[in-house]
Structure 1
Amino acid sequence: MTSFESCLAALRQPGPPDALFKAVDRALAETVGHKLFTLLYVAPGAKRVKRIYTNMPDAYPVGGYKEVMETDWHKRVIGERRAWVGYTYEDVKWAFFDHELIRSLGCESAMNVPIVYAGRMLGTANLLHAVGHYKESDPEKVEPYAALLIGPFLDAIAADPDIGRQ
Protein backbone atom coordinates (compact mmCIF):
# COMPACT_ATOMS: atom_id res chain seq x y z
CA MET A 1 0.00 0.00 0.00
CA THR A 2 1.38 3.42 -0.93
CA SER A 3 1.48 6.34 1.51
CA PHE A 4 -1.39 7.97 -0.33
CA GLU A 5 -3.44 4.78 -0.23
CA SER A 6 -2.84 4.60 3.54
CA CYS A 7 -4.22 8.12 3.81
CA LEU A 8 -7.27 7.18 1.74
CA ALA A 9 -7.88 4.18 4.02
CA ALA A 10 -7.63 6.44 7.09
CA LEU A 11 -10.01 8.92 5.45
CA ARG A 12 -12.63 6.19 5.19
CA GLN A 13 -12.46 5.35 8.92
CA PRO A 14 -15.43 6.44 11.04
CA GLY A 15 -14.94 8.80 13.96
CA PRO A 16 -12.53 11.65 14.62
CA PRO A 17 -9.88 12.38 11.98
CA ASP A 18 -6.89 11.50 14.18
CA ALA A 19 -5.99 8.44 12.10
CA LEU A 20 -6.07 10.54 8.93
CA PHE A 21 -3.91 13.26 10.47
CA LYS A 22 -1.33 10.69 11.56
CA ALA A 23 -1.40 8.97 8.16
CA VAL A 24 -0.85 12.30 6.40
CA ASP A 25 1.96 13.09 8.87
CA ARG A 26 3.70 9.79 8.01
CA ALA A 27 3.09 10.18 4.29
CA LEU A 28 4.51 13.70 4.18
CA ALA A 29 7.51 12.59 6.23
CA GLU A 30 8.20 10.08 3.45
CA THR A 31 7.28 12.41 0.58
CA VAL A 32 9.07 15.67 1.46
CA GLY A 33 10.28 15.18 5.03
CA HIS A 34 9.73 17.25 8.15
CA LYS A 35 10.76 17.54 11.77
CA LEU A 36 7.69 19.55 12.79
CA PHE A 37 4.28 19.10 11.20
CA THR A 38 1.17 21.01 12.20
CA LEU A 39 -2.28 21.64 10.81
CA LEU A 40 -4.00 24.95 11.49
CA TYR A 41 -7.44 26.04 10.41
CA VAL A 42 -8.28 29.65 9.69
CA ALA A 43 -11.21 31.03 11.65
CA PRO A 44 -13.76 32.97 9.59
CA GLY A 45 -12.41 36.47 9.04
CA ALA A 46 -8.85 35.14 8.53
CA LYS A 47 -7.52 36.90 11.63
CA ARG A 48 -6.94 33.83 13.82
CA VAL A 49 -5.81 30.26 13.35
CA LYS A 50 -6.26 27.22 15.56
CA ARG A 51 -4.00 24.18 15.66
CA ILE A 52 -5.86 20.87 15.17
CA TYR A 53 -2.85 18.57 14.79
CA THR A 54 0.81 18.55 15.74
CA ASN A 55 3.56 15.98 15.88
CA MET A 56 5.25 17.98 18.69
CA PRO A 57 2.52 18.62 21.26
CA ASP A 58 4.93 19.81 23.97
CA ALA A 59 6.22 22.69 21.82
CA TYR A 60 3.07 23.24 19.73
CA PRO A 61 -0.03 21.91 21.50
CA VAL A 62 -3.38 21.37 19.82
CA GLY A 63 -6.02 24.03 20.47
CA GLY A 64 -6.00 27.68 21.35
CA TYR A 65 -6.22 30.51 18.88
CA LYS A 66 -3.19 32.31 17.54
CA GLU A 67 -3.67 35.80 16.15
CA VAL A 68 -2.47 36.28 12.59
CA MET A 69 -0.96 39.63 11.69
CA GLU A 70 -1.29 41.34 8.32
CA THR A 71 2.18 40.48 7.05
CA ASP A 72 3.52 39.65 3.62
CA TRP A 73 3.38 35.98 4.65
CA HIS A 74 -0.30 36.35 5.62
CA LYS A 75 -1.11 38.11 2.34
CA ARG A 76 0.51 35.33 0.30
CA VAL A 77 -0.60 32.20 2.15
CA ILE A 78 -3.93 33.24 3.69
CA GLY A 79 -5.01 36.03 1.34
CA GLU A 80 -3.77 34.73 -2.01
CA ARG A 81 -3.98 31.03 -1.05
CA ARG A 82 -0.48 30.37 -2.38
CA ALA A 83 2.10 28.07 -0.81
CA TRP A 84 5.22 29.58 0.75
CA VAL A 85 8.65 28.00 1.10
CA GLY A 86 11.30 29.37 3.43
CA TYR A 87 14.78 28.03 2.86
CA THR A 88 16.79 29.55 5.72
CA TYR A 89 16.45 30.77 9.28
CA GLU A 90 16.23 34.33 7.92
CA ASP A 91 13.15 33.29 5.93
CA VAL A 92 11.63 31.64 9.01
CA LYS A 93 12.42 34.73 11.07
CA TRP A 94 10.74 36.91 8.42
CA ALA A 95 7.59 34.79 8.49
CA PHE A 96 7.05 33.71 12.11
CA PHE A 97 7.12 35.53 15.44
CA ASP A 98 8.06 32.26 17.20
CA HIS A 99 11.17 31.77 15.08
CA GLU A 100 13.41 31.23 18.12
CA LEU A 101 11.29 28.28 19.29
CA ILE A 102 11.26 26.92 15.74
CA ARG A 103 15.05 27.14 15.57
CA SER A 104 15.42 25.48 18.99
CA LEU A 105 13.59 22.46 17.53
CA GLY A 106 16.22 22.15 14.78
CA CYS A 107 14.05 23.76 12.13
CA GLU A 108 15.40 26.49 9.88
CA SER A 109 13.30 25.93 6.76
CA ALA A 110 9.54 25.83 6.36
CA MET A 111 6.73 25.19 3.96
CA ASN A 112 3.11 26.28 4.35
CA VAL A 113 0.55 24.78 1.98
CA PRO A 114 -2.97 26.25 1.96
CA ILE A 115 -5.95 23.95 2.30
CA VAL A 116 -8.63 25.47 0.09
CA TYR A 117 -12.11 24.32 -0.86
CA ALA A 118 -14.38 26.06 -3.38
CA GLY A 119 -12.22 29.18 -3.11
CA ARG A 120 -12.53 29.24 0.70
CA MET A 121 -9.34 29.33 2.72
CA LEU A 122 -9.71 26.59 5.35
CA GLY A 123 -6.22 26.38 6.80
CA THR A 124 -2.64 25.35 6.28
CA ALA A 125 -0.42 22.31 6.40
CA ASN A 126 2.87 23.43 7.95
CA LEU A 127 6.11 21.52 7.57
CA LEU A 128 9.43 22.56 9.09
CA HIS A 129 12.86 21.01 8.79
CA ALA A 130 16.60 21.72 8.80
CA VAL A 131 18.01 24.63 6.84
CA GLY A 132 17.77 24.30 3.06
CA HIS A 133 15.60 21.19 3.21
CA TYR A 134 12.67 22.31 1.03
CA LYS A 135 12.55 23.12 -2.67
CA GLU A 136 10.19 25.43 -4.57
CA SER A 137 8.61 22.34 -6.18
CA ASP A 138 7.77 20.64 -2.85
CA PRO A 139 4.33 22.24 -2.27
CA GLU A 140 2.89 20.48 -5.31
CA LYS A 141 3.90 17.17 -3.69
CA VAL A 142 1.96 18.14 -0.55
CA GLU A 143 -1.20 19.40 -2.28
CA PRO A 144 -2.81 15.96 -2.89
CA TYR A 145 -2.51 15.25 0.83
CA ALA A 146 -3.87 18.70 1.68
CA ALA A 147 -6.94 17.92 -0.42
CA LEU A 148 -7.66 14.90 1.80
CA LEU A 149 -7.91 17.25 4.78
CA ILE A 150 -10.78 19.40 3.43
CA GLY A 151 -13.53 17.41 5.19
CA PRO A 152 -11.86 17.34 8.61
CA PHE A 153 -11.09 21.07 8.35
CA LEU A 154 -14.71 21.89 7.48
CA ASP A 155 -15.87 19.73 10.41
CA ALA A 156 -13.42 21.35 12.84
CA ILE A 157 -14.46 24.86 11.83
CA ALA A 158 -18.18 24.00 12.05
CA ALA A 159 -17.79 22.36 15.47
CA ASP A 160 -15.62 25.05 17.06
CA PRO A 161 -17.51 26.68 19.95
CA ASP A 162 -15.24 29.74 19.77
CA ILE A 163 -16.20 30.65 16.20
CA GLY A 164 -19.22 32.66 17.30
CA ARG A 165 -17.21 34.59 19.91
CA GLN A 166 -14.84 36.38 17.56
Structure 2
Amino acid sequence: MKSARALELFSHTSELAIRNPDAGLYRAIEGALNELIGFKLLTILRLKGARLVRTHTSDSATYPSGGYKDITDDQWLRSILSDGVPVISEDSTKVRERFVDHEAIFAMGCGSVLNIPVTSALGTLGSLNLLHEAYWFKPEHIVLVRPYALLLAVPWLAEEAHNRRP
Protein backbone atom coordinates (compact mmCIF):
# COMPACT_ATOMS: atom_id res chain seq x y z
CA MET A 1 0.00 0.00 0.00
CA LYS A 2 1.62 3.22 -1.20
CA SER A 3 -0.01 5.51 1.40
CA ALA A 4 1.29 3.35 4.26
CA ARG A 5 4.79 3.44 2.79
CA ALA A 6 4.54 7.21 2.29
CA LEU A 7 3.65 7.66 5.98
CA GLU A 8 6.45 5.33 7.05
CA LEU A 9 9.01 7.29 5.02
CA PHE A 10 7.71 10.61 6.32
CA SER A 11 7.80 9.39 9.92
CA HIS A 12 11.43 8.33 9.57
CA THR A 13 12.41 11.59 7.89
CA SER A 14 10.58 13.73 10.45
CA GLU A 15 12.51 12.02 13.26
CA LEU A 16 15.73 13.17 11.62
CA ALA A 17 14.42 16.73 11.27
CA ILE A 18 13.51 16.90 14.94
CA ARG A 19 16.22 14.88 16.66
CA ASN A 20 19.31 14.96 14.50
CA PRO A 21 19.04 16.95 11.26
CA ASP A 22 22.76 16.70 10.57
CA ALA A 23 22.51 12.92 10.36
CA GLY A 24 21.21 12.80 6.85
CA LEU A 25 17.95 14.74 6.67
CA TYR A 26 18.63 15.87 3.09
CA ARG A 27 19.58 12.35 1.99
CA ALA A 28 16.48 10.93 3.71
CA ILE A 29 14.25 13.41 1.86
CA GLU A 30 16.02 12.56 -1.39
CA GLY A 31 15.54 8.82 -0.83
CA ALA A 32 11.90 9.10 0.19
CA LEU A 33 10.93 11.32 -2.76
CA ASN A 34 12.85 9.16 -5.21
CA GLU A 35 10.89 6.14 -4.01
CA LEU A 36 7.51 7.90 -3.88
CA ILE A 37 7.66 10.00 -7.06
CA GLY A 38 10.97 9.62 -8.84
CA PHE A 39 13.16 12.34 -10.30
CA LYS A 40 16.32 12.86 -12.34
CA LEU A 41 17.48 15.75 -10.15
CA LEU A 42 16.57 16.99 -6.69
CA THR A 43 17.88 20.23 -5.25
CA ILE A 44 17.30 21.99 -1.95
CA LEU A 45 17.81 25.75 -2.02
CA ARG A 46 17.91 27.99 1.05
CA LEU A 47 17.16 31.70 0.87
CA LYS A 48 20.06 33.84 2.07
CA GLY A 49 19.49 37.52 1.37
CA ALA A 50 18.90 37.97 -2.37
CA ARG A 51 20.23 34.50 -3.21
CA LEU A 52 18.96 30.96 -3.16
CA VAL A 53 21.93 28.86 -2.08
CA ARG A 54 21.99 25.17 -3.03
CA THR A 55 22.39 23.23 0.23
CA HIS A 56 21.81 19.78 -1.28
CA THR A 57 21.75 18.16 -4.70
CA SER A 58 21.31 14.66 -6.03
CA ASP A 59 23.78 15.47 -8.84
CA SER A 60 26.82 17.27 -7.48
CA ALA A 61 28.64 17.15 -10.83
CA THR A 62 26.04 19.21 -12.69
CA TYR A 63 24.52 21.18 -9.81
CA PRO A 64 27.02 21.25 -6.93
CA SER A 65 26.12 22.27 -3.39
CA GLY A 66 27.07 25.85 -2.70
CA GLY A 67 25.90 27.06 -6.09
CA TYR A 68 23.33 29.82 -6.03
CA LYS A 69 20.65 31.67 -7.94
CA ASP A 70 20.44 35.43 -7.64
CA ILE A 71 16.78 36.33 -7.31
CA THR A 72 17.22 40.08 -7.76
CA ASP A 73 16.57 40.02 -11.52
CA ASP A 74 14.37 36.93 -11.64
CA GLN A 75 10.73 38.04 -11.40
CA TRP A 76 9.32 34.52 -11.75
CA LEU A 77 11.52 33.14 -8.96
CA ARG A 78 10.77 36.09 -6.70
CA SER A 79 7.04 35.54 -7.19
CA ILE A 80 7.28 31.85 -6.19
CA LEU A 81 9.18 32.81 -3.08
CA SER A 82 6.89 35.70 -2.12
CA ASP A 83 3.67 33.78 -2.83
CA GLY A 84 4.93 30.54 -1.26
CA VAL A 85 2.89 28.50 -3.72
CA PRO A 86 4.11 25.26 -5.35
CA VAL A 87 4.55 25.39 -9.12
CA ILE A 88 4.78 22.69 -11.78
CA SER A 89 6.57 23.62 -15.00
CA GLU A 90 5.22 20.70 -17.00
CA ASP A 91 7.13 20.89 -20.29
CA SER A 92 10.14 22.32 -22.11
CA THR A 93 8.24 25.47 -23.07
CA LYS A 94 7.55 26.34 -19.42
CA VAL A 95 11.05 25.31 -18.34
CA ARG A 96 12.58 27.53 -21.06
CA GLU A 97 10.38 30.48 -19.98
CA ARG A 98 11.14 30.14 -16.28
CA PHE A 99 14.72 28.93 -15.90
CA VAL A 100 17.82 30.71 -17.15
CA ASP A 101 19.71 27.40 -16.82
CA HIS A 102 17.23 25.56 -19.05
CA GLU A 103 19.97 24.25 -21.38
CA ALA A 104 21.65 22.44 -18.46
CA ILE A 105 18.24 21.12 -17.39
CA PHE A 106 17.52 19.79 -20.89
CA ALA A 107 21.01 18.28 -21.14
CA MET A 108 20.15 16.10 -18.12
CA GLY A 109 17.09 14.78 -19.95
CA CYS A 110 14.72 16.85 -17.83
CA GLY A 111 11.71 18.64 -19.26
CA SER A 112 9.58 19.35 -16.18
CA VAL A 113 10.19 20.90 -12.76
CA LEU A 114 8.29 20.78 -9.49
CA ASN A 115 9.15 23.70 -7.17
CA ILE A 116 7.87 23.47 -3.61
CA PRO A 117 8.62 26.49 -1.41
CA VAL A 118 9.92 25.80 2.09
CA THR A 119 7.62 27.97 4.19
CA SER A 120 7.01 28.84 7.80
CA ALA A 121 4.89 31.36 9.67
CA LEU A 122 7.81 33.75 9.17
CA GLY A 123 7.73 33.48 5.37
CA THR A 124 9.50 31.51 2.67
CA LEU A 125 12.87 30.06 3.64
CA GLY A 126 13.85 28.27 0.42
CA SER A 127 12.63 25.64 -2.01
CA LEU A 128 12.64 21.91 -2.63
CA ASN A 129 12.89 21.18 -6.35
CA LEU A 130 12.43 18.01 -8.37
CA LEU A 131 13.19 17.68 -12.08
CA HIS A 132 12.25 14.89 -14.46
CA GLU A 133 11.14 14.24 -18.04
CA ALA A 134 8.33 16.36 -19.49
CA TYR A 135 4.86 15.86 -17.99
CA TRP A 136 6.21 13.69 -15.15
CA PHE A 137 4.82 15.77 -12.29
CA LYS A 138 1.12 15.89 -11.48
CA PRO A 139 -0.81 18.03 -8.97
CA GLU A 140 -1.04 15.07 -6.58
CA HIS A 141 2.76 15.10 -6.31
CA ILE A 142 2.52 18.48 -4.59
CA VAL A 143 0.60 16.79 -1.77
CA LEU A 144 3.37 14.20 -1.36
CA VAL A 145 6.31 16.63 -1.55
CA ARG A 146 5.01 19.57 0.49
CA PRO A 147 5.34 17.87 3.92
CA TYR A 148 9.01 17.16 3.18
CA ALA A 149 9.54 20.82 2.32
CA LEU A 150 7.98 21.77 5.64
CA LEU A 151 10.39 19.44 7.43
CA LEU A 152 13.27 21.49 6.08
CA ALA A 153 11.95 24.52 7.96
CA VAL A 154 12.46 22.81 11.34
CA PRO A 155 16.28 22.74 11.43
CA TRP A 156 16.61 25.96 9.41
CA LEU A 157 14.50 27.92 11.91
CA ALA A 158 16.32 26.27 14.83
CA GLU A 159 19.66 27.32 13.31
CA GLU A 160 18.45 30.89 12.82
CA ALA A 161 17.19 31.04 16.42
CA HIS A 162 20.50 29.66 17.69
CA ASN A 163 22.46 32.24 15.66
CA ARG A 164 20.40 35.09 17.15
CA ARG A 165 21.30 34.13 20.72
CA PRO A 166 23.60 36.59 22.50
Q: State the TM bucket, normalised to the shorter chain.
A: 0.7 to 0.9
Matching residue's letter, 2:43: T
Structure 2 counterpart of 1:5 = 11
Residue 67 of structure 1: CA displacement? 0.8
Is the alpha carbon distance of 1:69 and 1:96 closer, same or farther for their aligned partners in structure 2, counting shifts above 3 Å? farther
Q: Please, which runs of 5 or more residues in structure 2 have no aligned partner? A: none
SS for the counterpart of 2:62 is: coil
Give me the whole-angstrom Cα distance separating, in 1, the residues matched to 2:160 and 2:39: 26
Distance in 2 of aligned mates of 1:119 and 1:10: 22
User: Following superposition of structure 1 onto structure 2, how do residues 23-42 of structure 1 map, counting pairs within 5 Å?
Assistant: 23-42=28-47
Distance 1:72 1:7, change over 3 A: same
What SS class does the counterpart of residue 76 from structure 1 fall into? helix
Bigger helix fraction: 2
Structure 1 gaps of 5+ residues are 161-166
Residue number in structure 2 paired with 1:113: 116
Match of 1:139 among 125, 136, 142: 142
Residue 125 of structure 2 is aligned with which of 122, 126, 137? Answer: 122
* CA root-mean-square deviation: 2.2
- 1:141 deviates by 1.5
Query: 1:86-101 to 2 correspondence within 5 Å?
Result: 86-101=89-104
Hey, what's the Cα distance between the residues in 1 that align with 2:144 and 2:35?
Answer: 11
Structure 2 partner of 1:76: 79
Aligned to 1:61: 64
Provide the identity percentage.
Answer: 31
Q: Is the 8 A contact 1:48 1:67 kept in 2?
A: yes
Deviations 1:140-163 (A, max 9, x none): 221111111112333566799xxx
Q: Normalization by structure 1: what TM-score?
A: 0.84
Structure-2 separation of matches of 1:135 and 1:142? 11
Alignment equivalent of 1:102, drawn from 90, 100, 105: 105
Mapped to 1, the partners of 2:160 and 2:55 lie a distance apart of 10
Distance 1:42 1:36, change over 3 A: same
Relative to the length of structure 2, the TM-score reads: 0.84
Between the two proteins, the alignment pairs up a number of residues equal to 157
